[in-house]
Amino acid sequence: MGRHLSISNTGAKDLIEAQDTGQKKAQLSVFIDYLSVTLKVSNPSLQTAQQALLEALQKVSIRFVNETYIAMETTGYLGWRHSALAIRQGEVLALLAWGGEAQRSRIFVSLTGKGCQLLNQQALQFLHEQCVNQAGKITRIDLSVDDIDGKHTLGSVRSRYARGQFTAGGRPPEKREFSSNKEKGNSIYIGSKSSSKQLRVYEKGKQLGKPDSPWLRVEVQLRQQSNRTIPLDVLLSPAPYFTGAYPALELMFKHLNATPARIKSVKATVALNVEQLLKNISRSAGRAIGFLISAGASEQRLIDYVRRDPGSYVKQFNQHIVHETLTALHLTSPQDEPP
């Protein structure tokens, strides 16, 4: 059972269609083609979930808000207890989800390609602010470039893969190819769908029913994982994260003039922060501690005397990764270290 929901008009003017006012999708520019975020709220509900979406749409046009229909689903979604679809002119713009003890006061907003088409820079800025203010996390984002004139081809992608330009360290990612008939076009997938990133390159023009079209779409899918967090900055500056996903993309799209931004794993970041923390302790108190021990202080009693409550450090650091780092530095008890 669905219902028509809207939010109050705070003076937003009725703008022209999203194809003209939404994300600028000029040839060879980067745009967001799919977006999923979670936000922490005091009252996870349909109202708070749909408000997050509709307030973003209102930044573009109040008409989009008034034309959006919220249809309740009979089941939840991937562990969320409840879900609903936001529909406009018969097309799904977003999936909303909320509820469930494991979700810890969060709501889920997932915009489809159609939903992302409606967003302009002001709407993306608003979503960014929501994420900053409500402990938001990007769980998935697809960054795309439309090479309408066919400057690049599937053949050139194969050549770059063979030369190792899609290897960012370690083993080369897997490559799969899917062939269709001439009318529908072919595609290349690099990387696993379940991994933190995957590249999809396909003949978009042929997919849209134009068999002679050279139009190629290059799409990077980024997914949040336990050891890798997607920076919120990608909402405002997607190009650096697009070119930073694979060395090949930096070479193929030099015209973007975007310094590649590579998403570091949480493990590497925590390890560096722990080492910096130890250096700070050494600089500020190392000599004093050395003096007190040389004067006869018991190391353990000295630690117990100066130690304070860990406070915010518990939230700042993944303690499992901290323990791994301390073990690697031989700072844990011998019985805790691997043989």
pLDDT interval class at 327 (50, 70, 90): confident
Give the pLDDT of residue 337. 45
The partner residues of 77 in beta bridges, in order of sequence, read: 80
Average pLDDT over residues 104-123: 95
The partner residues of 189 in beta bridges, in order of sequence, read: 176, 200
> pLDDT by residue (tens digit) across 133-164?
999 999 999 999 999 999 999 999 999 999 99
Distance CA 98, CA 85 (A): 12
Distance CA 63, CA 160 (A): 45
Question: HSE on the CB side for 321, CA within 13 Å?
Answer: 19
Strands 30-40 and 82-88: unpaired
- State whether residue 4 is helix, strand or coil: strand
Average pLDDT over residues 107-119: 96
Reply yes or no on whether the pLDDT at 335 is more than 60: no
pLDDT interval class at 1 (50, 70, 90): very low
Reply yes or no on whether the pLDDT at 114 is more than 50: yes
The domain spans of the chain are 1-26+33-135, 142-263, 266-336
Q: In sequence order, which residues have a C-beta less than 8 Å from that of residue 85 and are 6 or more positions away?
A: 70, 71, 73, 92, 94, 95, 96
Q: Give the Cα-Cα-Cα angle 21, 27, 30 (nearest 5 degrees).
A: 75
Distance CA 51, CA 150 (A): 40
Q: What is the pTM for the complete model shown?
A: 0.73
Mean pLDDT of the chain: 84
Question: Is pLDDT larger for residue 217 or for residue 11?
Answer: 217
In the numeric block, which tokens belong to residue 49? 């979930």
Distance CA 140, CA 221 (A): 7
- Other Cβ atoms less than 10 A from the Cβ of 326: the count is 17
Average pLDDT over residues 47-64: 95
Average pLDDT over residues 28-53: 93
- The amino acid occupying position 23 is Q
Q: Which helix (H) or strand (E) holds 98?
A: strand 91-98
Q: In sequence order, which residues have a C-beta less than 8 Å from that of residue 291 and are 6 or more positions away?
A: none
